[in-house]
Structure 1
Amino acid sequence: MRSRKIPRIPDAVRRYPLVFATLLIGLAVLALLAVDAGTAAAWTASLYAGAVALQTAAGMVRNIRAGKWGLDILAVIAILSTIAVGEYLAALIIVLMLSGGEALEDYAAGRARSELDALLERAPQQAHRLEADAVVDLAATDVRPGDILLVRPAELVPVDGILLDPAAEFDESSLTGESLPALRSAGETVLSGSVNGTAAVRIRATATTADSQYQRIVALVQEAAASRAPLVRLADRYALPFTGLSLLTAGAAWLASGDPGRFAEVLVLATPCPLLIAAPVAFMGGMSRAARHGIIVKGGATLEQLARIRTAAFDKTGTLTSGRPELVAVHPQPPFTEDELLALAASAEQYSSHVLAAAVQSAAAARGLTLLPAHYASEAATNGVEALIGGRRIRVGKQRFIAATGAAPAEQALQPGELAVYVGVEGSFAGTLVLSDTVRPNAAATLTDLRRLGVRSMVMLTGDAAGTAHSVAQELGITQVSAGLLPADKVRAVAALPGRPVLMVGDGVNDAPVLAAADVGIAMGARGATAAGESADAVIAADDLSRVAVAVDIGQHTLRVALQSIRLGIALSLVLMLVAAFGYIPAVAGALTQELVDLAAILNALRALHGPGHRPARGAERHKDRRAGIMGSGRRPVPGR
């Protein structure tokens, strides 16, 4: 991504040629005035400023023909009017202000983008591969899945991998925004871009750098940095009335005083730099602030939409619930026993990537059951898995997935927080496995924060059974529930919601379509949910639901700051124009004063980097994690079947 920092002098000359040309002309004019060559100075400044005005006017005409009314017309008229009344120094200052606007924006945006730039600059560059008894240094991009890597103390983890040593601590703050170290045990996932603790550890690479978590976040950041918010163009909405009011004020001053110079004195204070620069700076600051909280917002348009959210829809499993289910009961149908049913289900679930499948396998392993290989296996996304094991066709998943074979699975009675996995063998119902997935302790607090921020309606959209969905919704105070939904059903449900804009929060591959369809889609926990992250408008890198409310809060603050900055620029310009209309501000002084207006608007826009200090409430789970010194389990979020 192109750096937005102000470059060295030779680079700056190439990048901002008009700025340096204007400075050179200004020095030449001052030199001519010093040797009492006023006529030559006037002609030099006037011809140069006039040429710039004509070039700007040509671009303005093209924009008007394309139906885009901008603010350039004020600058063009201000330059031409100051030349006409002999205020050629003021004309040069206006040209310098216009040409220097991009450099000023680059400087301010460089400050606003600090968190995003820091993330990009920290990309892992080197890795250490273990080969026999040797350690071979290589570029991170050369690492391949299966390589055994050594990560030394305080080094960046180059790629995603599995920890091979018993335990280690990693700083994941650049990925999740969480400052406390994350404790990982052998067999758990270690994320690229995290920083190893005080002991050297070994990991087995599971991805290349391009497919690793850090690079995914970097790609999201690059996409965010390249975007342009609709509010950045909101200044254009003010363009026509502001232009008309400015010209009316200048014309009235000329008419009342009889002095054409008064027209120029008013217009030099109406130049548009605060409107053109303030909004982009504010939105870049908001995205940077979000990144500091582990929230990657893909564009300023998303921040603007987040500020106006009126309905929030949530997936259930892995979003409102913890996404770490555990087996609590096995209900076999004769002639199967509990262990036989669990062994068959776990054998089939070996071929599923679903986290419910992992929970079933873990329960079978805890009982010491032997899993059988399958001759054939196929997973039906969001429904379940089918496998041919020992000559028998086994189906594990939703009730309707089992019923599709002609079986008649009985509805399983469930307690709050429980969910059922149904098992069919050779077209007959074989029993159910009951798993418990508890509500996140901070879920209720997050919904309360969203209501305080002006979100009027909370909705649950889930693929789980109605009984489970309603019990969780009742616990959280959610009254609108749609259960048993397929991905396409969720898309239709979001489209039908009345309170717009609509925010959808989900995780996993099955939520990707609805995240893309919502006005704003937020993917929870980018770990393992690549499709959801790519479809969403924002990604929360940590597995922390409360950051949904943080994202809305940041969006609202950013929008307020952007609007305040635009209005501040307009208000100061109008007040100064009224003063100039009575002849109290000469043209040159007015042009210099307008630079101070620019500075005030931009400094105000930079307030988007820092919020009002509020952070939504945390749940008991987060507090427990802090006491334990860990950030989270690192397990993959559970997409609801």
Structure 2
Amino acid sequence: MTRAVAALRHYPLVAAALAVGAVGLVLLAIELELAARILVSVFAAAVALKEGVSMVRRLLSGQFGLDLLAVMAITATLLVGEYWASLIIVFMLAGGEALEDYAENRARRELSALLDRVPQRAHRIGPDGAIVDIPVDAVAVGDRLLVRPAEIVPVDARLDSLEGAFDESSLTGESLPVDKESGDEVASGSVNGPAAVEIIASALAADSQYQRIVELVREASESKAPLVRLADRYAVPFTLLSLAIAGIAWAVSGDPVRFAEVLVVATPCPLLIAAPVAFMGGMSSAARNGVVVKNAGTLEKLSRARTVAFDKTGTLTKGHPEVVDVRPAAGEGTANLSADELLRLVGSAERYSSHVLAAALQQAAERRGLALSDSTDAREVATHGVAATLDGRALVVGKPAFVAEAIAEDAAPIIRPELPSGEAAVYAAVDGLFAGTIVLRDRVRDESAETVAALGPLGVTRVLMVTGDVEATARPIADALGIDEVHAECLPADKVRIVREAEPRPVVMVGDGVNDAPVLAVADVGIAMGARGATAAGESADAVVLVDDVSRVVEAITIGHQTVRIALQSIWLGIIISVGLMLIASVGLLPAVVGALLQEVVDLVAILAALRAVRAGTRGVPARPSRRVPQLTR
């Protein structure tokens, strides 16, 4: 009851229509029919006058809307004495806003859920072990935080506890808890599992993933799609058709009531409601599937996408080096280590390095379950490598020239493998003997090939790779993924020019780095890989993929197709039902009051049809990659 009262307060015109109707029925019950007629007629005329003034203002500004028919229907029913039908039409117009709000709120649930879950407090652990609650904005990088069971992670961080399980469904759509180990990244907004864990903050609250997502959601929830105005494109022909049917019915029957009865069922509320509800549903579905669409009009463009351009590094590839081969040296004058022992020693030494490859080497050893050793004398020689004593053995890791200096004169020399473009090698020596090399490269994402292949059935006729890498690096990856057109060694200005000139349009650009921000802004639809990508890329893009999964681009295009189709289906469903009711009314089989009540049913049918967009997506999308551990070759 309380909720109903609050709703009526929020929609005063609905409350007024209900009140007038109730009083009118009471007057009829006590046989004051004239008083009931006057009350209802004056109220309906006042609403028609108010709506008419607004309509005239829109007409003067060049906007021809379907609300013209509603005003004409109210006026016509009043003129022929069908005042109860007039009241029902008023209630329908007033209730349409409430129905639309309800539908949009349901469709927006996944979007608003992110806003409702913004963390406000964090539990900071002091040097003495004391726990102090602080505002999340006061968290500094490096702070040690406690996250209790079922609490939301307040900022981006690294797990300091040995292990933990986190629910990332609000961020990624992944329904199962994700297991993390010490050192793994934990995204803000994920929900901790059944055990308390400690984390080390790696970003401020304002720079954390969840806060960036919240800002994107705010933009998304306030947007309005160009296709929403599609209903108004039907305004002129639909109005002319309605007036023609009503006029013919009047002329043939000689009864002006027929004219009013036809216009009653021509009221266009379903057309006005269907499109915006469908697009809000599509945006909701996209958010639930890990893609924040900033502007609802983006869905309409995605549905018509004909060209898709991909950046390479961080988009089609993982964007960070991974160990792909461990090559221990064998034979006389070498260290003769096993592959596991070589990787273990190198991973141990790289714990003391700040080089970009250090983390990949350490992680590769940890993934194999190798126990890393500590060193008390490790030292890093900037841009060259690391020297350390590990388990009583002298280890040198780094560039070949740096390692060669540590090799004894009578030992076997360093062997430099021939590496294809895009690969790098780290060399190692143990106790003055060459120990071997470890090869790293930026790996192609598991889902990239399936993603490219899935674009064709969605109407995409041209796929490009636009990258700053050299041709020798980009071409083999493009060939493996089935991309024929490669633009290599591109500066940001080159990418902008290529995408701006690309045909056929619309053009979708997918990228992740700061250098992709300009081209994402100039594309018809810019999609940023936002799970690890630069903030600049996310801010300039029209949509942001929240998970490290490029196949969500196909998901977004699929949702765009289905959303537009559902919006158009809902619009045409409203038109067909309305025309059918007009034809029935034209032969005198549909009294004005009954027709007005049936329009409420048509409204509900249109809304329910449009709400199907909440479930858009997932069909024709490549399977999401499993969380498997990369296997290293020996």
TM over 0.5: yes
- Contact 2:163/2:181 (8 A) holds in 1: yes
Provide the C-alpha distance between the structure 1 equivalents of 2:315 and 2:147, rounded to a whole number of angstroms: 32
Q: CA deviation at 1:44?
A: 1.3
Q: CA deviation at 1:548?
A: 1.0
> Percent of pairs identical after alignment?
59
Whether 1:117 and 2:117 are equivalent positions in the alignment is no
Provide the C-alpha distance between the structure 1 equivalents of 2:626 and 2:201, rounded to a whole number of angstroms: 32
What is the root-mean-square deviation in Å for CA atoms of aligned residues?
A: 3.1
Alignment of 1:213-362 (within 5 A): 213-326=209-322
- The residue aligned with 1:25 is 20
- Contact 2:17/2:87 (8 A) holds in 1: yes
- Contact 1:526/1:533 (8 A) holds in 2: no
- The residue aligned with 1:183 is 179
Q: SS in structure 1 opposite 2:203?
A: coil
- The residue aligned with 2:66 is 71
Task: Please list the CA deviations of residues 237-275 of structure 1 after superposition, one character each: whole Å capped at 9, or x if unmatched.
Answer: 011110111111111111111100000000000111101
- The residue aligned with 2:626 is 623
Q: CA deviation at 1:357?
A: 9.3
Q: SS in structure 1 opposite 2:207?
A: coil
Q: CA deviation at 1:170?
A: 1.8
- The residue aligned with 1:56 is 51
- Contact 2:558/2:617 (8 A) holds in 1: no
Whether 1:34 and 2:29 are equivalent positions in the alignment is yes
Structure 1 residues 217 and 227: CA distance shift in structure 2, 3 A = same
Amino acid at match of 2:546: A
Alignment of 1:121-136 (within 5 A): 121-131=116-126, 132-136=128-132
Provide the C-alpha distance between the structure 2 equivalents of 1:527 and 1:56, rounded to a whole number of angstroms: 50
- The residue aligned with 2:203 is 207
Provide the C-alpha distance between the structure 1 equivalents of 2:54 and 2:277, rounded to a whole number of angstroms: 24
- Contact 1:350/1:361 (8 A) holds in 2: no
Gaps of at least 5 residues in structure 1 are 1-5, 330-341, 375-411, 422-432, 633-641
Provide the C-alpha distance between the structure 1 equivalents of 2:469 and 2:192, rounded to a whole number of angstroms: 39
Whether 1:456 and 2:461 are equivalent positions in the alignment is yes
Structure 1 residues 120 and 612: CA distance shift in structure 2, 3 A = closer
Q: SS in structure 2 opposite 1:436?
A: strand
- The residue aligned with 1:535 is 540
- Contact 1:262/1:583 (8 A) holds in 2: yes
- Contact 1:162/1:188 (8 A) holds in 2: yes
- The residue aligned with 1:569 is 574
Amino acid at match of 2:460: V
- The residue aligned with 2:506 is 501
- The residue aligned with 1:161 is 157
Q: SS in structure 1 opposite 2:22?
A: helix
Q: SS in structure 2 opposite 1:324?
A: strand
Q: CA deviation at 1:13?
A: 3.4
Larger radius of gyration: 2
Task: Please list the CA deviations of residues 291-349 of structure 1 after superposition, one character each: whole Å capped at 9, or x if unmatched.
Answer: 111111112111111111111110011111122324789xxxxxxxxxxxx9xxx9xx9
Task: Please list the CA deviations of residues 39-68 of structure 1 after superposition, one character each: whole Å capped at 9, or x if unmatched.
Answer: 221111111111111111111111111111
Amino acid at match of 2:531: A
Provide the C-alpha distance between the structure 2 equivalents of 1:195 and 1:256, rounded to a whole number of angstroms: 69
Amino acid at match of 2:626: H
- The residue aligned with 2:169 is 173
- The residue aligned with 1:148 is 144
Q: TM-score when scaled to structure 2? A: 0.82
Task: Please list the CA deviations of residues 502-521 of structure 1 after superposition, one character each: whole Å capped at 9, or x if unmatched.
Answer: 11111121111111111111
Alignment of 1:551-570 (within 5 A): 551-570=556-575
Provide the C-alpha distance between the structure 1 equivalents of 2:272 and 2:8, rounded to a whole number of angstroms: 22
Whether 1:138 and 2:143 are equivalent positions in the alignment is no
Question: How many pairs were matched up?
Answer: 555
Gaps of at least 5 residues in structure 2 are 326-345, 365-371, 384-416, 426-437
Q: CA deviation at 1:616?
A: 1.5
- The residue aligned with 2:609 is 604
Amino acid at match of 1:623: S
- Contact 2:225/2:296 (8 A) holds in 1: yes
Provide the C-alpha distance between the structure 2 equivalents of 1:420 and 1:516, rounded to a whole number of angstroms: 33
- Contact 1:414/1:467 (8 A) holds in 2: no
Structure 1 residues 357 and 578: CA distance shift in structure 2, 3 A = farther
- The residue aligned with 2:554 is 549
Provide the C-alpha distance between the structure 2 equivalents of 1:14 and 1:458, rounded to a whole number of angstroms: 53
Structure 1 residues 361 and 166: CA distance shift in structure 2, 3 A = closer
